[in-house]
Amino acid sequence: MVKRSAESRFSDFLLHANEKIPELPLVHISDGYHLLDILQPGVIRATPCKVFDRDILYMFYGKPAYRTKHNGNAFLSCHLPCAFIFKTDNISERIKSVFPFDTGAFHNNFYKSFFHNSSLITDFLLPPSIESAKRVVSTFYCSNHEYYCGSSRKNVDIPLLNFEAEGYHELSRAPAHPDANSKFSPDERASAIEVHFHEDVDLADRLLGCVLPVTFLDDETVKENLDKLNPEIIKTYSTINKHTSEAIAGKLYEIVEEIYKAKGIV
Protein backbone atom coordinates (compact mmCIF):
# COMPACT_ATOMS: atom_id res chain seq x y z
CA MET A 1 0.00 0.00 0.00
CA VAL A 2 1.26 3.47 -0.86
CA LYS A 3 1.98 5.57 2.19
CA ARG A 4 -0.16 8.72 2.42
CA SER A 5 1.80 11.90 2.93
CA ALA A 6 -0.56 12.89 5.73
CA GLU A 7 0.16 9.74 7.65
CA SER A 8 3.25 10.94 9.52
CA ARG A 9 3.16 14.69 8.94
CA PHE A 10 1.82 15.49 12.37
CA SER A 11 4.13 13.20 14.35
CA ASP A 12 7.12 14.31 12.25
CA PHE A 13 6.29 17.92 13.00
CA LEU A 14 6.58 17.17 16.71
CA LEU A 15 9.81 15.18 16.47
CA HIS A 16 12.09 17.98 17.56
CA ALA A 17 9.74 19.55 20.05
CA ASN A 18 10.85 20.20 23.60
CA GLU A 19 9.94 17.29 25.83
CA LYS A 20 11.70 18.67 28.89
CA ILE A 21 8.63 20.30 30.33
CA PRO A 22 7.00 19.19 33.61
CA GLU A 23 4.82 16.15 33.24
CA LEU A 24 1.07 16.25 33.85
CA PRO A 25 -0.83 13.33 35.39
CA LEU A 26 -3.21 11.14 33.41
CA VAL A 27 -6.91 11.46 34.09
CA HIS A 28 -9.68 8.94 33.66
CA ILE A 29 -13.26 10.05 34.08
CA SER A 30 -15.96 7.60 34.92
CA ASP A 31 -19.69 7.96 34.99
CA GLY A 32 -20.43 8.33 38.68
CA TYR A 33 -23.39 6.01 38.27
CA HIS A 34 -20.97 3.11 37.89
CA LEU A 35 -18.33 4.18 40.39
CA LEU A 36 -18.52 1.00 42.43
CA ASP A 37 -17.71 -1.10 39.39
CA ILE A 38 -14.30 0.57 39.48
CA LEU A 39 -13.76 1.00 43.20
CA GLN A 40 -14.68 -2.50 44.32
CA PRO A 41 -12.26 -4.43 42.11
CA GLY A 42 -9.81 -1.51 42.27
CA VAL A 43 -9.37 -1.67 38.52
CA ILE A 44 -10.33 0.42 35.51
CA ARG A 45 -11.13 -1.93 32.71
CA ALA A 46 -10.32 -1.62 29.05
CA THR A 47 -13.67 -1.81 27.26
CA PRO A 48 -14.62 -2.52 23.63
CA CYS A 49 -14.14 0.51 21.41
CA LYS A 50 -16.03 0.71 18.13
CA VAL A 51 -13.68 3.28 16.63
CA PHE A 52 -10.55 1.14 17.01
CA ASP A 53 -12.34 -2.22 17.14
CA ARG A 54 -10.56 -3.44 20.24
CA ASP A 55 -10.57 -3.15 24.05
CA ILE A 56 -9.21 0.25 25.10
CA LEU A 57 -8.91 2.11 28.34
CA TYR A 58 -8.92 5.86 27.67
CA MET A 59 -7.21 8.50 29.72
CA PHE A 60 -6.49 12.14 29.04
CA TYR A 61 -3.19 13.84 29.56
CA GLY A 62 -3.70 16.32 32.38
CA LYS A 63 -7.27 17.32 31.59
CA PRO A 64 -10.44 16.03 33.23
CA ALA A 65 -12.10 15.90 29.82
CA TYR A 66 -15.05 13.59 29.89
CA ARG A 67 -17.26 14.44 27.00
CA THR A 68 -15.61 11.67 25.16
CA LYS A 69 -18.04 9.03 24.16
CA HIS A 70 -20.19 11.13 21.89
CA ASN A 71 -22.76 8.43 21.94
CA GLY A 72 -25.54 10.86 21.41
CA ASN A 73 -26.19 11.78 24.99
CA ALA A 74 -23.62 13.76 26.86
CA PHE A 75 -26.21 14.54 29.51
CA LEU A 76 -26.45 10.88 30.46
CA SER A 77 -22.87 9.76 30.26
CA CYS A 78 -21.37 12.75 32.02
CA HIS A 79 -23.61 13.08 34.95
CA LEU A 80 -21.88 13.30 38.27
CA PRO A 81 -18.53 12.22 36.94
CA CYS A 82 -15.75 10.76 39.08
CA ALA A 83 -12.17 11.60 38.19
CA PHE A 84 -9.23 9.31 38.78
CA ILE A 85 -5.95 11.16 38.49
CA PHE A 86 -2.95 8.91 37.91
CA LYS A 87 0.70 9.42 38.65
CA THR A 88 2.39 8.65 35.39
CA ASP A 89 5.56 7.07 36.75
CA ASN A 90 4.32 3.51 37.00
CA ILE A 91 1.84 3.30 34.16
CA SER A 92 3.50 5.25 31.37
CA GLU A 93 5.30 2.17 30.07
CA ARG A 94 1.92 0.56 29.43
CA ILE A 95 0.68 3.31 27.10
CA LYS A 96 -0.16 1.88 23.68
CA SER A 97 -1.00 4.98 21.70
CA VAL A 98 -1.33 8.73 22.00
CA PHE A 99 -3.57 11.06 20.01
CA PRO A 100 -3.55 14.86 20.30
CA PHE A 101 -7.33 15.05 20.71
CA ASP A 102 -10.46 13.16 21.63
CA THR A 103 -10.66 10.42 18.97
CA GLY A 104 -14.35 9.86 19.69
CA ALA A 105 -15.06 13.46 18.79
CA PHE A 106 -12.95 13.12 15.64
CA HIS A 107 -14.77 9.93 14.67
CA ASN A 108 -18.11 11.71 15.11
CA ASN A 109 -17.01 14.60 12.92
CA PHE A 110 -16.94 17.17 15.69
CA TYR A 111 -13.65 18.51 14.35
CA LYS A 112 -14.80 18.87 10.77
CA SER A 113 -14.18 22.62 10.85
CA PHE A 114 -10.53 22.05 11.77
CA PHE A 115 -9.42 19.17 9.56
CA HIS A 116 -9.85 18.08 5.97
CA ASN A 117 -12.62 15.64 5.18
CA SER A 118 -10.05 13.07 4.06
CA SER A 119 -8.06 13.25 7.29
CA LEU A 120 -7.95 9.98 9.15
CA ILE A 121 -7.57 9.41 12.89
CA THR A 122 -4.38 7.48 12.23
CA ASP A 123 -2.82 10.60 10.69
CA PHE A 124 -2.58 11.92 14.22
CA LEU A 125 -1.22 8.82 15.91
CA LEU A 126 1.81 9.62 18.07
CA PRO A 127 4.44 7.32 19.60
CA PRO A 128 3.14 5.60 22.75
CA SER A 129 4.81 7.62 25.46
CA ILE A 130 4.23 10.52 27.82
CA GLU A 131 6.92 12.38 25.87
CA SER A 132 4.55 12.53 22.88
CA ALA A 133 1.99 14.34 25.02
CA LYS A 134 4.66 16.69 26.34
CA ARG A 135 5.76 17.47 22.79
CA VAL A 136 2.21 18.39 21.78
CA VAL A 137 1.90 20.70 24.77
CA SER A 138 5.28 22.38 24.29
CA THR A 139 4.61 22.88 20.58
CA PHE A 140 1.10 24.28 20.67
CA TYR A 141 0.86 25.89 24.11
CA CYS A 142 2.90 28.40 26.07
CA SER A 143 2.70 26.29 29.24
CA ASN A 144 1.04 23.32 30.88
CA HIS A 145 -1.43 25.71 32.45
CA GLU A 146 -2.36 27.11 29.06
CA TYR A 147 -2.90 23.58 27.76
CA TYR A 148 -5.09 22.89 30.78
CA CYS A 149 -7.19 26.01 30.27
CA GLY A 150 -7.15 25.92 26.48
CA SER A 151 -7.28 29.08 24.38
CA SER A 152 -3.65 28.84 23.31
CA ARG A 153 -2.02 32.16 22.50
CA LYS A 154 1.17 30.62 21.18
CA ASN A 155 2.31 31.50 17.69
CA VAL A 156 3.43 28.34 15.99
CA ASP A 157 5.53 28.31 12.88
CA ILE A 158 3.77 25.63 10.86
CA PRO A 159 5.28 24.43 7.59
CA LEU A 160 3.28 24.86 4.45
CA LEU A 161 1.02 21.92 3.61
CA ASN A 162 1.07 20.49 7.14
CA PHE A 163 -2.71 20.65 7.35
CA GLU A 164 -2.87 18.43 10.42
CA ALA A 165 -0.62 20.71 12.49
CA GLU A 166 -2.45 23.76 11.15
CA GLY A 167 -5.84 22.32 12.09
CA TYR A 168 -4.62 21.27 15.50
CA HIS A 169 -3.20 24.73 16.10
CA GLU A 170 -6.66 26.14 15.45
CA LEU A 171 -8.19 23.56 17.78
CA SER A 172 -5.73 24.51 20.50
CA ARG A 173 -7.03 28.07 20.43
CA ALA A 174 -10.44 26.91 21.65
CA PRO A 175 -11.03 27.04 25.39
CA ALA A 176 -10.88 23.72 27.20
CA HIS A 177 -12.95 24.90 30.09
CA PRO A 178 -16.53 24.05 29.17
CA ASP A 179 -17.93 27.02 31.08
CA ALA A 180 -15.91 29.46 29.08
CA ASN A 181 -17.57 31.48 26.38
CA SER A 182 -16.61 30.23 22.97
CA LYS A 183 -17.84 30.24 19.45
CA PHE A 184 -17.50 26.46 19.46
CA SER A 185 -20.14 24.16 20.86
CA PRO A 186 -18.96 22.11 23.86
CA ASP A 187 -18.09 18.99 21.89
CA GLU A 188 -15.73 20.94 19.69
CA ARG A 189 -13.62 21.96 22.65
CA ALA A 190 -11.92 18.69 23.35
CA SER A 191 -8.30 19.42 22.54
CA ALA A 192 -7.32 17.08 25.35
CA ILE A 193 -4.50 14.68 24.50
CA GLU A 194 -5.83 11.15 24.56
CA VAL A 195 -3.79 8.24 25.87
CA HIS A 196 -4.74 4.61 25.20
CA PHE A 197 -4.09 1.49 27.22
CA HIS A 198 -4.95 -1.92 25.85
CA GLU A 199 -5.32 -3.55 29.25
CA ASP A 200 -6.92 -2.96 32.63
CA VAL A 201 -5.11 -0.64 35.01
CA ASP A 202 -4.96 -1.19 38.78
CA LEU A 203 -5.73 1.79 40.95
CA ALA A 204 -4.07 0.89 44.22
CA ASP A 205 -1.34 3.38 45.21
CA ARG A 206 -1.28 4.78 41.67
CA LEU A 207 -3.69 7.61 42.27
CA LEU A 208 -2.62 11.14 42.80
CA GLY A 209 -6.20 12.14 43.34
CA CYS A 210 -9.80 11.14 43.21
CA VAL A 211 -12.74 13.49 42.70
CA LEU A 212 -16.26 12.33 43.34
CA PRO A 213 -19.72 13.61 44.28
CA VAL A 214 -19.83 14.23 48.02
CA THR A 215 -22.89 12.08 48.69
CA PHE A 216 -21.13 9.00 47.30
CA LEU A 217 -19.16 8.95 50.54
CA ASP A 218 -22.31 7.93 52.40
CA ASP A 219 -21.80 4.52 50.87
CA GLU A 220 -19.72 2.31 53.14
CA THR A 221 -18.29 0.39 50.18
CA VAL A 222 -17.07 3.61 48.59
CA LYS A 223 -15.35 4.66 51.82
CA GLU A 224 -13.82 1.26 52.41
CA ASN A 225 -12.45 0.97 48.89
CA LEU A 226 -11.26 4.54 48.76
CA ASP A 227 -9.29 3.87 51.91
CA LYS A 228 -7.75 0.78 50.31
CA LEU A 229 -6.90 2.53 47.05
CA ASN A 230 -5.26 5.31 49.02
CA PRO A 231 -5.30 8.26 46.59
CA GLU A 232 -3.04 11.09 47.71
CA ILE A 233 -5.82 13.66 47.52
CA ILE A 234 -9.58 13.20 47.82
CA LYS A 235 -11.91 15.94 46.68
CA THR A 236 -15.66 16.07 46.47
CA TYR A 237 -18.27 18.29 44.86
CA SER A 238 -21.88 19.06 45.64
CA THR A 239 -24.60 17.17 43.84
CA ILE A 240 -27.59 19.30 44.69
CA ASN A 241 -27.65 22.13 42.21
CA LYS A 242 -26.23 23.13 38.85
CA HIS A 243 -26.74 19.93 36.95
CA THR A 244 -25.89 21.13 33.51
CA SER A 245 -23.01 19.28 31.89
CA GLU A 246 -21.15 22.55 31.52
CA ALA A 247 -21.53 23.50 35.17
CA ILE A 248 -20.36 20.12 36.43
CA ALA A 249 -17.51 19.94 33.94
CA GLY A 250 -16.47 23.43 34.99
CA LYS A 251 -16.55 22.38 38.62
CA LEU A 252 -14.41 19.36 37.82
CA TYR A 253 -11.85 21.49 35.96
CA GLU A 254 -11.57 23.79 38.95
CA ILE A 255 -11.16 20.94 41.42
CA VAL A 256 -8.52 19.14 39.36
CA GLU A 257 -6.65 22.41 38.91
CA GLU A 258 -6.70 22.83 42.72
CA ILE A 259 -5.10 19.39 43.01
CA TYR A 260 -2.41 20.29 40.49
CA LYS A 261 -1.72 23.54 42.28
CA ALA A 262 -1.50 21.77 45.62
CA LYS A 263 1.04 19.38 44.14
CA GLY A 264 2.91 22.15 42.32
CA ILE A 265 2.12 20.66 38.93
CA VAL A 266 0.72 23.80 37.28
Partner 1 sequence: MKFLAFYRILPKSPAPVIPIFTDGKNNFRQISGKDDLVLEYKHTPDLSEDRMFISKEQKINTPDIGEHCIYAYEYAENSIAIGDIESIKHRLLSIISKEENISEKCFTILDIANFTENENLIRLAADSCYKSLNKFSFNLSEKWLNGTQLSDSIKEHVRQQNRKSTTIARGKFLFQFTCRKAVWQTLARNASFRNMTIDDYLDVCIDIAIGDGSFYGEFSPNDISKIYDILLSPKSKILSRHMEAVAKIIIEIRSVLEREKLVYSHNILEHLIIEHAQEDGFTKIKTFRARITRNMEKDVNKISKRFRLSKSEARGVIISSILDKADPEFISKVHALVKSKSDKLHKNFESQAIKYYNKYINYIPDL
List interacting residues with partner 1 (CB under 8 A). Answer: 32-33, 72-73, 75-76, 79-80, 213-218, 223-224, 226-227, 230-236, 238-244
Nearest distance, CB of residue 224 and partner 1, angstroms: 6
Q: Rounded distance, CA 3 to CA 175, Å?
A: 34
Identity of the residue, 62 or 213, whose beta carbon is nearer to partner 1 in the bound complex: 213
Residue 247 host element (H or E): helix 245-262
Identity of the residue, 54 or 223, whose beta carbon is nearer to partner 1 in the bound complex: 223
Identity of the residue, 90 or 221, whose beta carbon is nearer to partner 1 in the bound complex: 221
Nearest distance, CB of residue 2 and partner 1, angstroms: 42
Angstrom CA distances, 25 to 32, 158, 242, 258, stand at 20, 28, 27, 13
Nearest distance, CB of residue 73 and partner 1, angstroms: 4
Q: Report helix, strand or coil for 83.
A: strand
Nearest distance, CB of residue 167 and partner 1, angstroms: 29
* Residue (of 64, 105, 67) closest to 83 by Cα position: 64
H helix and E strand count, the chain: 9, 10
Identity of the residue, 76 or 120, whose beta carbon is nearer to partner 1 in the bound complex: 76
Identity of the residue, 45 or 243, whose beta carbon is nearer to partner 1 in the bound complex: 243
Nearest distance, CB of residue 110 and partner 1, angstroms: 17
